[in-house]
Amino acid sequence: MKKLKTIDADTLLSTPLPATRFVVDRLLPEGLHILAGAPKVGKSWLALWLCLCVAKGESVWDFAVTKGTVLYLCLEDSLTRIQNRLFQITEDAPDTLHFATLAGSIGGGLEEQLKGFLAEHPGTALVVIDTLQKVRQPGENANPYASDYRDITALKRLADDYGIAILLIHHLRKMNDEDPLNMISGTTGISGATDSSFVLKERKRGSGEAMLYCTGRDIEYRELPLRFQKDTHTWVLTEPVAEDAPAVDPEVTFLSDFLKGLHSFEGTATELSELLEAQTGESILPSVLSKKLVKYAGELEQNKIRVASHRTRDSRTLSILCFGSDGSDGNDGKIETASVANFLSQPSQLSQGPCSAL
């Protein structure tokens, strides 16, 4: 049996980790997600439009998009039908959007096929599987929950390992429920193992008006009112997304102003703490300062300040770099990260390279 991989709390609090990457800002992060709806409600139209938006880098309603390669497994359609749908939505589809109408099943070759595609297309951001049932093997397990959880976990592991978003298209049960999220077909092993659940439910069958219910571990609960535009075959948002301006933490402002004055820094937390006290008069213990940089790494990144940590045999070194509004920092704006698995397997070898450049 393999040795249990652990990381101590002090190392965890002192190690900058990559922030959750969103394919669709505030709506679709990396991880495994499910989009469920009744048959013929328009799930596939929504999925195809979403794929097109990500491949072209165009916003999804009021949400910004991270442009990337997309794979759409349209397993209930033919290429002819997909071509017709594309022509009805757009005449300018990029070559970064890929389709497949045949694929293996979970545990029966699908994972290897996806890994092969991701190896050939390292810039992949999104994979859509339409539908989940088409990639599941006939159940022989007497425990439906265990079967659902096993299949979903296999795909979630793949999404997490490669840092991509995988969206599963699924169906709803016919029985109605006050909470639409309880209508997702199957056991709670499906919704429980996914990172986010989206339910597309029409207000009235055939009305073309629907509500998209959104919930997940890394997103706020939302109800997005939509209307299907027959002339463009797309779902449009009928009300703007209301967003409260996030409160700015005074500590973040203080640290940002100080670090921007340095432009760059390479040294220990003790040296940085001494600089902070000399320039601002504020005294912060080196260990506390180091943890604050980790805690606010995401906010500092938004303020164009990048933090990384390295460990040598004798000490831990901080690397801080302020970069321009275009993201230029001598590395073409690219960000190197190390996976959490690497931290767990080699906590004493963090000096091998940046733990993270958030």
231 and 252 share one domain: no
Q: What is the pLDDT of residue 142?
A: 65
Query: Cα–Cα distance between 225 and 246 in angstroms, integer?
Result: 24
> Do 218 and 296 sit in the same domain of this protein?
no
Instruction: Calculate Rg over the CA atoms of the chain.
Output: 23
- pLDDT band, residue 324 (cuts 50/70/90): low
How many domains are contained in the chain? 2
Using DSSP's 3-state secondary structure scheme, residue 124 falls into strand
Cβ neighbours, 10 Å, residue 311: 18
Quick one: pLDDT band at residue 245, thresholds 50, 70, 90? low
Residue 181 domain-assigned (yes or no) = yes
For residues 76 and 114, membership in a common domain is answered with yes
CA dist., res. 111 & res. 253, Å (int): 45
d(CA 274, CA 262): 13
In this predicted structure, the answer to whether residue 330 has a pLDDT above a threshold of 50 is no
What range defines the domain where residue 340 resides? 247-352
Shared domain check, 194 and 306: no
Q: Are 226 and 209 in contact (CB under 8 A)?
A: yes
* Confidence band for 183, pLDDT divided at 50, 70 and 90: confident
- One domain for residues 163 and 287: no
Lowest mean pLDDT among 14-28, 36-50, 287-301, 332-346: 332-346
pLDDT digits (tens, 9 = 90+) for 107-139: 999 999 999 999 999 999 999 999 999 999 876
At CB < 8 A and 24+ separation, what contacts does 39-43 make? 39/171, 41/200, 41/201, 41/202, 41/210, 42/200, 42/210, 42/228, 42/235, 43/130, 43/169, 43/200
DSSP β-bridge partners for residue 171: 37
Residue 45 token pair: 């139209």
pLDDT value of position 244:
55
Answer whether residue 18 is part of any domain.
no
202 and 335 part of one domain? no
Asked if residue 302 has pLDDT above 50, the reply is yes
pLDDT tens digits, residue range 332-357? 433 343 333 343 333 333 333 333 22
Pair 203, 82 in one domain: yes
End position of a domain, from candidates 204, 237, 270:
237
Residues 86, 196 within the same domain: yes
The conformation of residue 144, written as its DSSP 8-state character, comes to H
| 22 vs 2: CA distance, rounded Å | 33
Nearest-angstrom CA–CA distance, 36 and 169: 6
**What average pLDDT does range 298-304 have in this prediction?**
86
Choose the final residue of a domain: 237, 261, 282.
Answer: 237
State whether 222 and 279 are in the same domain: no
Q: State the pLDDT at residue 191.
A: 84
